[in-house]
Amino acid sequence: MLENPLVVAAAIIGALFLQAYLAKGKKKITGLILPGISFINSIISAFRVESMESFGQTLAVGFATFTIYNIPTAILILIYMSAKHGYTRRRRW
């Protein structure tokens, strides 16, 4: 299923539209569902890192995994903030 790039692209675009739809809802919590799932996934992935030769290496790989897996979380939070608070452009005269 994940071998087809069109399916993956459609799933990503669908998730982004779903996040925008949920963020525009009246309740605050609905827009935080997908970022919450993504954040929990990043925590689980960071703890699933296999042990390396030293504890420092294991910690570094775990932190890198946590950081990389939080990129979608940051994107989903940005969509939530822009949909909830809107974008206001200040005019300079």
Provide the residue range defining the domain that includes 72: 5-85
How many folded domains does the chain comprise? Answer: 1
Q: Is the pTM of this model over 0.85?
A: no
Q: Categorise residue 50: left if φ over 0, alpha if ψ from -120 to 50, beta otherwise.
A: beta
* pLDDT single digits (tens) 14-73: 999 999 999 988 888 898 999 999 999 999 999 998 888 899 999 999 999 999 999 999
The answer to whether residue 92 sits within a structural domain is no
Residue 57 counted as domain residue: yes
Residues in the chain: 93
Residue 3 has a pLDDT of 78
pLDDT for position 39? 96
More confident residue, 6 or 86: 6
- Whole-angstrom distance, CA of residue 29 vs CA of residue 26: 9
* pLDDT recorded at residue 72: 94
Taking alpha carbons only, the member of 41, 40, 36, 42 closest to residue 22 is 36
- On whether residue 93 sits in a domain, the answer given is no
Q: How far apart are CA 5 and CA 76, in angstroms?
A: 21
Q: Which residue has 């300079």 as its token pair?
A: 92
In a domain, 90, yes or no: no
